[in-house]
Structure 1
Amino acid sequence: MLVASFFCVLTLDSFAQAPATAASPNLETAPKGNSKISGIVLDSAAAKGVEFASIALFNVADNKAVDGTTADETGKFAITKVAPGSYKLLISFIGFKDKTINNIQVEKGKDIDLGSVQLASSVQNLQEVTITGEKSLVEEKVDRLVFNAEKDITSKGGDAADLLRKVPMLSVDLDGNVSLRGSSNIRVLINNKPSTIIASNVADALKQIPADMIKTVEVITSPSAKYDAEGSGGIINIVTKKNNLQGLTLNIDSGVGNRGTNLGLNGSYRKGKMGFTLGGFGRAFYNKATSVLNQTTFSEGGSFLTNQSSNAKDRGLFGQYSLGWDYDLGKNQALSAGLRYGTRNFIQKQNLTINQFENDVLSATSQRKVDRKDLSGTVDFNIDYIRTFKPQQEWSISTLYSRTGLTNNFNTDLLSQSGAVSGKLKNENQNYNSEFTLQTDYQTPIAKNQMLEFGAKGIFRTVNSDYKYLTATESGDFTLSTTNPSGSLNYNQNVAAGYVSYSLTTKNKYTIKAGTRYEFTGITADLGEQGKISIPNYGNLVPSINVSKALSGSTTVKAAYNRRIQRPGIQQLNPNVNLSNPQSITTGNPALSPELTDNFELALSTNIKKTYINASVFARQTNNSITQIRMAVDTLQGAVVTTYQNIGKQQAYGMNVFANVYLTPKWTLNGSIDILHSYLEGQAMSREGTSVPVSNSGFNYGGRLMSQISLQQGWGLQAFGFYRGKEIQLQGTRTGFYMYSLGFKKDFPNKKGSIGFAAENFLTKGVRFTSDLTSPQFVQTSQTQLYNRNFKITLNYSIGKMSFDAPKKKTKSVNNNDVMGGGDGK
């Protein structure tokens, strides 16, 4: 209701107000004519339009403002009904130096086209324009918040998950799972491109991206109709560093720490119309953890207690290698292609001790040594073409083929009380996820302040999984298990989509972006010899509207509504039963259906002297929500199985406040506070095996704080702290955790590189968190201690001769923000 009222106010206000200008209140007394002064305002460094720049027209005779306007989203402006005379034009925008154009002589009936007017950045003059650092850190757009990541120090040698912990509205847990305003049902894109490995596991995909190669992080809280309807919580687009350099460049980036080591090598070569890029990044980590689980299950015969403890050593190696090519076919055409390979190798060696009590009497003790391997290799290949007919009128066609092979295996040695191997158990789980996407988009201006976009897209996706269990004696060969499950999943999903979107920028500084998208999803699935799964096809109409209003000074207010759908991903669908821990079993659910979410948002951003503030309130309603469900196992006493189901309903509302302040021109302090209330409602199993209603609700609090100081002679210092509070789940809670870091760097005198040092969680051994779950069938408490105290040294160095050239045309690319990733899947 609040959002609807806001929309009404915006609509009435847009008709009631006179055109906003940069002139004085007495503009109506200025003489009018029939001439026009027009032009386009460009950023001199980026050669792109400066949207919403202020233009004021002054009469030279008395130096008074007689008219004015603001530039549109592309930097274009026009002042009409100008009387004959001598004028000067003042163009200004926050973060740029003012530009004055003198000696404008207007003759009766003759228009004046000023062409391109370039504004120079004032980023080096922080004492005079204190807001410049603000704009370089956070940028507000009608449907997203853009966080500039280029100045981060402590993330050197880290990965994307380390950096995303510092972005407003985002929360990243210790495993790297990302949530936006409390929802983990989000899409993560890399340079507007998806990958099948992201669809399978977001947390692991983020470990493949070096933090210091990230330029910006775009948090799209209210995606327009142009984006896939998937991702009920929103979209995160990670933009890596690019350049338009002529010549050969090479950048070496490395870091060594007691918990992780990384090495990156990136090069580019460009001559004339053709360019090549080649990149490689590898990161190894080594960690250890201990955990304790106390689990009590209830039955008609009494209670059954499981007490287990474990210690584990984790080893991981993540890599990403890419080859890019682009070519300017002509003045208005561009072609690009890319090949990327990502690898993930995670190995865990765990010692597990299990004590079982029946009615408070010890009934069994067992020990296991578990070797777990999660391995994957992903290949992405894309070809993109764009044709520009005139400014802002363009047509593009994009293709993408992705294929990921995943291996999730474990080997278990069953030990006797003496510690000797008494038996062996092996689970082999092979998964393949492939997809082909064809997409075309067209956009055209239908007036100087209006834009029309429409397009179509097809995704053809195949998911296959083959899994089996093998057993052996202490010295015998492995044979197929007759008691543990084996099987397969063949899952085909085809998505056909079309959209239309309309944008309007008014003279009184409103920006309205509205559209709708229709997606039809067809699914066929079977479990091999066990037969087909009945999953109906479905179609969804998903509207969206975003409205922003630039108020006085540098204040912007926004309102948005959108509907999103969330399809299950391979982690939720895979029916393989993981029995590496026989008392805590996990499996997927291939019969999951999608969830549907309605999102509402109100936001305000402003500058108060040297402080930038962004505040937002939001609410969402999700039906058929996909979440984790835990239940007791009838055939295995004391065991609890974790799977995924479509629960009935999930509601959330909350707020986020982010602020950045320049304490001095070289000392910044920024942070944010997050408050979220969640309510979940679904079904659980009773002790008698019947379905009973269950619900849970509560608040979650979180925040982050970062301070950075630029010192003399190239020295820099940065401190960071992060806290995530208690997380509400359908059947319980998970306690919060905190992380902190301190780092410094020293730039080399020739600005070719830097050396740095960072320490993370250095005052404690690591991070400890607990999970408390309850149900009519069981009570479970678990505690995990991660020993992630880390010290690292980083080195960055660039070589090569380079010269700047005009920016090349940007080709569009496929955005499959389309399926649910790994993590909790709430």
Structure 2
Amino acid sequence: MKMSKFLLTAIIVLATLLTPAFAQFPGGGGASQPKALPGTAGDQTPKGTSKISGSIVDSASTKGIEFVSVALYSKTSGQAVDGTVADEKGKFTLTKLPAGDYKVLVSFIGYANKTIDNISLGKGQELDLGVVTLASNTKTLNEVTVTGQAALIEEKVDRLVYNAEKDITAKGGDATDILRKVPLLTVDLDGNVSLRGSQNIRVLINNKPSTIIANSVADALKQIPADQIKSVEVITSPSAKYDAEGSGGIINIITKKNSLQGLNLNVDAGVGNRGSMLSLNGGYRKGKAGVTLGGFGRGIYNTITKTSLEQTSTVNNMTTKTIQTGDGSSHGLFGNYNLGFDYDLAKNQSLTAGVKYGVRNFSNQQDLMTRLMKTGSTDFTSTRNVDAKNNSGTVDVNIDYLHTFKPQQEWSISTLYSRNDLTNDFDADLLNGSRELTGRQRNLNKSVNQEYTLQTDYQTPIKKNQLLEFGGKAIFREVKSAYSFLIAEPTGDFRPETDQPAGDLTYHQNIAAGYSSYTYTTKKRYTLKGGLRYEHTFIDASTNEGTVGVGNYGVLVPSVNASKTFKGTTLKLGYNRRIQRPGLQQLNPNFNSANPQNITIGNPELRPELTNNFELGLSKNIKKTFVNATFFGRVTNNAISQVRQPSDTLAGAIVTTYQNIGKQHAYGTNLFANVAVTTKINVGIFANAFYTTLTGLSLGSDGKSEEIKNDGFNVSGGVFSQATFGNGWGAQAFGFMQGNQVQLQGMQGGFGFYTVGVKKEFNNKKGSVGLAAENFLSKRYNIHTSLNSAQFNQVNDVYLYNRGVRLTFTYKIGKMTMDAPKKRAKSVSNDDVKSDGQQSGGGGGGGQGGGGNAPR
């Protein structure tokens, strides 16, 4: 694909979507700061010789607050006359004002509004209002506080927020432990995340993508320390501003940041029977510049797994029965390191830059004993010892710029470079029934994935109750994956396996996108937000056998969200269309036979799937209880589905691949309620239930394709409780149950998870110690999966031993002072690419394996 063709299409997309928006503003919305507030007569700058000035400070720290909005209103007409934004010291000036009677409204997020009334301004007068103090206000606009004092869960206009920093059991864990507790989400014991039963979701970190996420969500979450997560946002109905990818929705993980002046260092440590961690995060800020430096390391161990597999398959009228047992264990080291820099170029301009490096060294050992029984043949017994490695190193580099012209009017440019080097190999020793070494196998899969992204966004208010947003984006993505399969005798060198030749995949995916979004709010608290986004995808892919892929394609993605608040009740209605591009693991043609009875192979010919989402939500405060109910529907065509069928060459083996053959319909509800029992104790309960229908193709008993269908209910739910006591003591408990999950060719078993924890703070909250335990009443959990078709039946049991306890410690070092919050430059959000090779519509696949190989 020629780069000129891509750039030409990108220009056409941006021109088509952005020109009508720019046409509304003289000069195309240039960099000059408009002085008049929208809504004034003709939006003309007032003519006069008078002036009003003043200084705005925090009532507690007595320090100036920058970016405070100052609006001047006429006492006679009540309309806005002029407005400005305070500088970095909190000072403001309104000039060229005509004589008259006015009032001034001072407002800023996080502070209570303040009105200065009865201002009489004479001709040529220079009026100094002096020092204006603003008091902190803990209430947040457009949200409902769910858990009273702790505010563990919040519902906002377009998302649900789980405030993880309030979770006292988080210390020593990772992001997986946090996401398990978020309403609407389901996380299985392997770390795979579902939203309303769909694993077609995008996971962002601080609104940014990363190549580490694109490879495997489950693995990536292990690298994010739980105690560094501030909140988790679940966006079920994304607006046009977000990338069209992620048919199920978007999960945005917000990590802790600060606006501290001075030098600070936070030390976090934890040790347990299944894992240990150490985290050091520091920062230095003085004046307009700030630097942050952090590092996190975590080790996992004592993770034991036992499996059993029984399956029958029929090929060419020959039936083979397989009975397999396995004993496995895994261990790993995960690291995450970051260096950040931000600088205030001016009172209304900021620049941020950062470098992040993530490392994963994960290994899995599994001893498989297999017995094959063929019709009319002697039984065959073998043992296979597999050592699988999944290692990666990820680098993310970003530079972002933000220019704020006035409240709600801003322009940003964001850039991102992301690269992931991945090694995903396995070695297997083959033993006979007498446990004598008879041969060796090796699968090598080295991959490099890199992305370049350029994004620009502009938003501006229209009058007082309307907001227009538009922008454009370009993503340049390249993936290279080389794979080979080797065999050897008990001794000697490895040689290529002729039946499974080496190969490589080169996959270029470039995307040009543009969007426009409009928000309208009425005085009666009706809110309507609509948008349109267009994305054009360019595919250029090949293997050593020639060109593959589906060619270029474009998609138009509309979104509409509406809400109405009345008498403490909020009603929300949403519709959006989403695209789901195949994940790179699903595309990778590497033949992964770590377990030769359960083989996986990707399909580079996969096309994207399209989903229409509908939702209706109702939330209400009833005294001390908050209740939310959301009803949703999801219709997916051309769905990417896992398809399993017997192998033509390996007796008794089941091969899993991916095809665009499915239709998936899901209809259900999410319910949760929270009761503030007292100001210090709250209890919550949540439940998710939906009915799903999956339709696809499979081979029939005669070897020809036939349509298959599966449907059923998927139910999950949980309860949590949190309490704070005197002298720095706190406690928390959480429990969750996941029912069976419907799959196209069967059913995956459910599981449960629970945890309790206590924490004690000391030294004026500078330090804390905690103790948390999980699944301490259960020796193990069994996930029972049953899959079937006309040609095979499979029953798989995975026993996970995850009883755990951990002791945590944290301490803050340094003398710091808090500044008013500052608006920093925005960053790139690549909400695209289906990750982890997961099947949508109901959990991961059954069967044992020694670690999947992927091009990421």
TM-score bin, normalised by smaller chain: 0.7 to 0.9
**Is residue 549–residue 604 contact of structure 2 (8 Å, CA) maintained in 1?**
no
Q: Distance in 1 between matches of 2:342 and 2:512?
A: 29
Match of 2:348 in 1: 332
**Is residue 699–residue 791 contact of structure 2 (8 Å, CA) maintained in 1?**
yes
Residue 207 of structure 1 and its aligned partner are, at CA, apart by 0.7
Residues 483 and 720 (structure 1 numbering): CA distance in 2 closer, same or farther, change over 3 Å? Answer: same
Gaps of 5+ in 1: 1-38, 52-57, 59-66, 75-83, 124-128
Residues 405 and 86 (structure 1 numbering): CA distance in 2 closer, same or farther, change over 3 Å? Answer: closer
Match of 1:267 in 2: 282
2:523 match: secondary structure: coil
Match of 1:460 in 2: 476
Residue 665 of structure 1 and its aligned partner are, at CA, apart by 1.4
Say if 2:407 is the partner of 1:391. Answer: yes
1:590 match: secondary structure: coil
Q: Distance in 2 between matches of 1:423 and 1:706?
A: 52
Residues 520 and 157 (structure 1 numbering): CA distance in 2 closer, same or farther, change over 3 Å? Answer: same
Q: Distance in 2 between matches of 1:611 and 1:107?
A: 49
Residues 687 and 121 (structure 1 numbering): CA distance in 2 closer, same or farther, change over 3 Å? Answer: same
Q: Structure 1, residues 116-173: CA drift from partner, whole Å, max 9, x if none?
A: 88454368xxxxx997726833333322122211110112111111101111111111
Match of 1:540 in 2: 555
Say if 2:321 is the partner of 1:295. Answer: no
Residues 462 and 541 (structure 1 numbering): CA distance in 2 closer, same or farther, change over 3 Å? Answer: same
Alignment of 1:555-594 (within 5 A): 555-594=569-608
Amino acid in the other structure paired with 1:219? V
Residue 422 of structure 1 and its aligned partner are, at CA, apart by 1.4
Say if 2:173 is the partner of 1:158. Answer: yes
Amino acid in the other structure paired with 2:651? Q
Match of 1:520 in 2: 536
2:493 match: secondary structure: coil
Q: Structure 1, residues 706-763: CA drift from partner, whole Å, max 9, x if none?
A: 1111122111111110111111100000011000111101101321111011111000
Match of 1:508 in 2: 524
Match of 2:515 in 1: 499
Match of 2:322 in 1: 306
2:220 match: secondary structure: helix
1:572 match: secondary structure: helix
Residue 544 of structure 1 and its aligned partner are, at CA, apart by 0.4
Scaled by the length of structure 1, the TM-score of the pair is: 0.86
Q: Which of 298, 313, 316 lines up with 1:283 in the alignment? A: 298
Say if 2:695 is the partner of 1:681. Answer: yes
Q: Number of residues paired by the alignment?
A: 758
**Is residue 584–residue 837 contact of structure 2 (8 Å, CA) maintained in 1?**
no
Say if 2:199 is the partner of 1:184. Answer: yes
Q: Distance in 2 between matches of 1:341 and 1:116?
A: 44
2:650 match: secondary structure: coil
Q: Which of 633, 636, 641 lines up with 2:647 in the alignment? A: 633
**Is residue 715–residue 746 contact of structure 1 (8 Å, CA) maintained in 2?**
yes
**Is residue 314–residue 320 contact of structure 2 (8 Å, CA) maintained in 1?**
yes
Match of 1:489 in 2: 505
Q: Structure 1, residues 775-802: CA drift from partner, whole Å, max 9, x if none?
A: 0110000001010000110111110111
**Is residue 147–residue 682 contact of structure 2 (8 Å, CA) maintained in 1?**
no
Q: Distance in 2 between matches of 1:645 and 1:679?
A: 17
Residue 104 of structure 1 and its aligned partner are, at CA, apart by 4.8
1:588 match: secondary structure: coil
Q: Structure 1, residues 277-334: CA drift from partner, whole Å, max 9, x if none?
A: 1111111111010000001002343421000000001111111111101111112211
Residues 107 and 625 (structure 1 numbering): CA distance in 2 closer, same or farther, change over 3 Å? Answer: same
**Is residue 130–residue 665 contact of structure 1 (8 Å, CA) maintained in 2?**
no
Residues 758 and 190 (structure 1 numbering): CA distance in 2 closer, same or farther, change over 3 Å? Answer: same
Match of 1:809 in 2: 823
Q: Distance in 2 between matches of 1:132 and 1:424?
A: 57
Q: Distance in 2 between matches of 1:170 and 1:568?
A: 22
**Is residue 247–residue 269 contact of structure 1 (8 Å, CA) maintained in 2?**
yes
Alignment of 1:2-21 (within 5 A): none
**Is residue 146–residue 152 contact of structure 2 (8 Å, CA) maintained in 1?**
no
Q: Distance in 1 between matches of 2:775 and 2:270?
A: 18
1:750 match: secondary structure: coil
Alignment of 1:443-454 (within 5 A): 443-454=459-470
Say if 2:222 is the partner of 1:207. Answer: yes
Alignment of 1:564-713 (within 5 A): 564-713=578-727
Say if 2:364 is the partner of 1:348. Answer: yes
Match of 2:440 in 1: 424
Q: Distance in 2 between matches of 1:364 and 1:598?
A: 50
1:571 match: secondary structure: helix
Say if 2:798 is the partner of 1:784. Answer: yes
Q: Distance in 2 between matches of 1:90 and 1:812?
A: 25
Residues 119 and 680 (structure 1 numbering): CA distance in 2 closer, same or farther, change over 3 Å? Answer: farther
1:516 match: secondary structure: strand
Gaps of 5+ in 2: 1-53, 70-74, 86-99, 841-856
Scaled by the length of structure 2, the TM-score of the pair is: 0.83
Match of 1:799 in 2: 813
1:580 match: secondary structure: strand
Q: Distance in 1 between matches of 2:431 and 2:396?
A: 43
Match of 2:337 in 1: 321
Q: Structure 1, residues 636-660: CA drift from partner, whole Å, max 9, x if none?
A: 1211001111123100011011111
**Is residue 147–residue 674 contact of structure 2 (8 Å, CA) maintained in 1?**
no
Amino acid in the other structure paired with 1:516? L
Residues 611 and 617 (structure 1 numbering): CA distance in 2 closer, same or farther, change over 3 Å? Answer: same
Amino acid in the other structure paired with 2:346? G
1:625 match: secondary structure: strand
Match of 2:566 in 1: 551
Alignment of 1:236-275 (within 5 A): 236-275=251-290
Residue 417 of structure 1 and its aligned partner are, at CA, apart by 2.5
Amino acid in the other structure paired with 1:639? A
Q: Structure 1, residues 626-645: CA drift from partner, whole Å, max 9, x if none?
A: 12111111111211001111
**Is residue 539–residue 549 contact of structure 2 (8 Å, CA) maintained in 1?**
no
Residues 536 and 113 (structure 1 numbering): CA distance in 2 closer, same or farther, change over 3 Å? Answer: farther
Q: Distance in 1 between matches of 2:560 and 2:128?
A: 34
**Is residue 412–residue 425 contact of structure 1 (8 Å, CA) maintained in 2?**
yes
Q: Distance in 2 between matches of 1:44 and 1:171?
A: 43
Residues 302 and 401 (structure 1 numbering): CA distance in 2 closer, same or farther, change over 3 Å? Answer: same
Residues 556 and 702 (structure 1 numbering): CA distance in 2 closer, same or farther, change over 3 Å? Answer: same
Residue 101 of structure 1 and its aligned partner are, at CA, apart by 6.3
Q: Distance in 1 between matches of 2:595 and 2:220?
A: 25
